[in-house]
Amino acid sequence: MKKDKEYKPDKTLRRWMIFFFVVVVLIGGLGLYRAVLRQQIEIELDAMRTAGYPTTCVELDEWYITPPPGENAADVYMEALSYFCEWEEKPIPKEIVERFQKLDPDYDDYDPCEAISEDWDQKNRALLPIFSDVPDPEPGKPMDELVKRAAEDYLSENERALELLHQGAAMSKSRYPLDCAEGIDALVPWLSLIRSSVKMLYLKVVIDIENDESQSVGQTITDNLKLCHSLDQEPILISHLVKISCYSITIDSLCYTLNRICLSEEQLLELSSMLGNCYNAQGIIRALVGERCAISDVFRTGRDLYRGWDFPKPVYMGMKAIGLVEINHQLYLELMQENIELARKTGPARIKAISDIDLKIEEIPSYHVLTRMLIPALGRAILLDSRYQAKINSAIAALAVEQYRLARGQWPKSLSELTPNFLEAVPVDPFDGKEIKYKKLDKGYMVYSVGEDMIDDEGMAEELDSDGWVLRQEVDIIFKVER
């Protein structure tokens, strides 16, 4: 009997077995690696929840508290916005035609109507101060009659909206119909209308002063401040930036008012009390937390990457398979936490930290493509928050100066004279951490912040070269009264 032939494994089969073993090890290792990354992310998110902050858009929606029925100012404001009328097209006034005829009266074929833009609605809108490039009337000089008529027509058309804006100002709590659970797809159509309404109330201040109805001016400015304040709790970045813009417009209306008329002691005290509650240090933090929730949901699902940023779905799925999405998400959370900690800083420490974090974001490695794409220019947003605080503090100091003059019959020599009778303490400049600056003028006074360069330019609003060209705008952030 022959001995059985010795068995020899097939070399090809052995190679395949080794290949499949390596693949299984790699897949298992990659799965374990992704599980570790997800666990690390969850640990970070749990720490945020422990600190009292939401981490998902659903949690964010619950965090944005809805006032009880009948106490929500946003309901009244939304009704007011539904009555808000944009500037409607009207016939070309005779005065405008005459003005164009004067441009070239000798030209036989000159048609003034052709010279006017076909979009007369926009031309008509351009007659409105505040809404256009038409300058506000100079203090002590009457408003152009045509401009005044256009403004009065506009306010008349919005009479019902103005009434409801005043009613809404009587309520302190607010939540607009924002569905935070929608993430970056959440719609906020009221923001542009609120900004237009703030401008409309500024316009009402101007017209009331022109018509010697100054008794209602203080109330209109207060109503405007409360309209701005209605966005205070809205936890998304765009809402915070719109709120800053609205406050800036309202403070401009206050500055305009103080250049034109003297407010009563009662009006000054009411405005001072209201302005003292206008800057909320938590506002920018709420906005950043909301931004973090929305973008974290994008990292988790990738859904909005395909639509909002046109990011290829196969690339996202490939990055997710090898853990790159989690790595990007982890870096994003780290940077957002640094921005939130930065927003808690004040004075020069905040300004320096803004430069540091902006540089860090610029130097993000290219393989963190999602982080680079999804993290916004937050340093600029935090800087705007500081500017908003500076304008609020300057306005508070200016109102105290007005109270001092009303009581003593003269302007104070320094802001220290205002404490403790008119100010508990001199407001701080959020840029250099020192007291807000004050300067007596030949006629009036100026309160100002040194601005982001932290250099005291003696209240210089803009720097010009020898030929009169603007080199720097808003060098100092000023509140100037010449009356």
Instruction: Read off the tokens for 86.
Output: 């944009």
Residues 316 and 359 in one domain: yes
The helix, strand and coil proportions of the chain, stated in percent and rounded to the nearest 5, come to 60, 5, 35
- CA contacts within 13 A on the Cβ side of 314: 0
Task: State whether 433 and 470 are in the same domain.
Answer: yes
Query: Residue 416: which domain range?
Result: 391-483
User: Per-residue pLDDT for 18 more than 60?
Assistant: yes
- Structure tokens, 136: 């506000």
Write the CA distances from 84 to 37, 149, 165, 195, 202, integer angstroms: 51, 19, 10, 12, 15
Return the pLDDT at 108. Answer: 46
User: What's the CA gap between 427 and 450, in Å, rounded?
Assistant: 13
Question: What is the predicted pLDDT for the residue at 10?
Answer: 65
In a domain, 290, yes or no: no
* Structural domain includes residue 115: no
pLDDT of amino acid 365:
86
- How far is residue 452's CA from residue 432's CA, in Å, rounded to a whole number? 8
Taking residues 445-455, what's their average pLDDT?
A: 91
pTM: 0.85
Q: Are residues 370 and 431 in the same domain?
A: no
Q: How confident is the prediction for the chain on average, in pLDDT? A: 84
Residue 204 has pLDDT above 80, yes or no: yes
Which residues 6+ apart lie within 8 Å of 4 measured at CB? none
Q: Is residue 481 assigned to a domain?
A: yes
Provide, rounded to the nearest whole percent, the portion of the chain with pLDDT above 90. 55
Angular region, 109: left φ>0, alpha ψ -120 to 50, beta rest = alpha
The total of structural domains in the chain comes to 2
pLDDT in tens, 308-338: 667 788 888 888 888 888 899 999 999 999 9
* Residue 266, domain member (yes or no): no
Same domain, 400 and 478: yes
pLDDT number for residue 372 = 87
Closest CA to 178 of 226, 223, 237, 224: 237
Residue whose entry in the numeric block shows the structure tokens 């490939």: 318
For 451-464, write each residue's pLDDT tens digit: 888 888 887 765 54
Q: Which of 37-41, 271-275, 471-475 reaches the highest mean pLDDT?
A: 271-275
What pLDDT shows up at residue 472?
53
- Residue 352, pLDDT score: 87
Helix axes 324-343, 11-50, angle to 10 degrees: 20
For the beta carbon of residue 142, count every other beta carbon within 10 angstroms. 9
Residue-wise pLDDT for 1-11, tens only, equals 455 556 555 66
Please tell me whether residues 366 and 417 are part of one structural domain. no
284 and 343 Cβ atoms separated by less than 8 Å: yes
Does one domain contain both 420 and 370?
Answer: no
Q: Do 425 and 400 lie in a common domain? A: yes
pLDDT of 475: 78
- The 3-class SS string of 441-468 reads ECCEEEEEECCCCCCCCCCCCEEECCCC
The three-class DSSP label of residue 412 is: coil
The two most distant CA atoms of the chain are separated, in Å, by 132
Residue 36 lies in a domain: yes
Same domain, 402 and 358: no
Q: Is the pLDDT of residue 359 over 50?
A: yes
CA distance 228 to 201: 11
Q: Are residues 365 and 409 in the same domain?
A: no
In a domain, 213, yes or no: no
Say if residue 361 is in the same domain as residue 400: no
Indicate whether 122 belongs to any domain: no
User: Based on the domain organization, do 401 and 471 belong to the same domain?
Assistant: yes
Segment among 139-143, 147-151, 269-273, 297-301 with least mean pLDDT? 139-143
pLDDT of amino acid 19: 65
Q: Provide the 8-state DSSP code for 69.
A: T
Q: Where are the alpha helices (DSSP H) in 51-157?
A: 57-63, 73-83, 94-103, 112-115, 120-125, 145-157
Band the pLDDT of 128: cuts 50, 70, 90.
confident
| Residue 471 lies inside a defined structural domain of this protein | yes
Claim to verify: residue 463 and residue 405 sit in the same structural domain: yes
Backbone angles phi, psi at 327, to 5 degrees: -65, -45
Which amino acid belongs to residue 355?
S
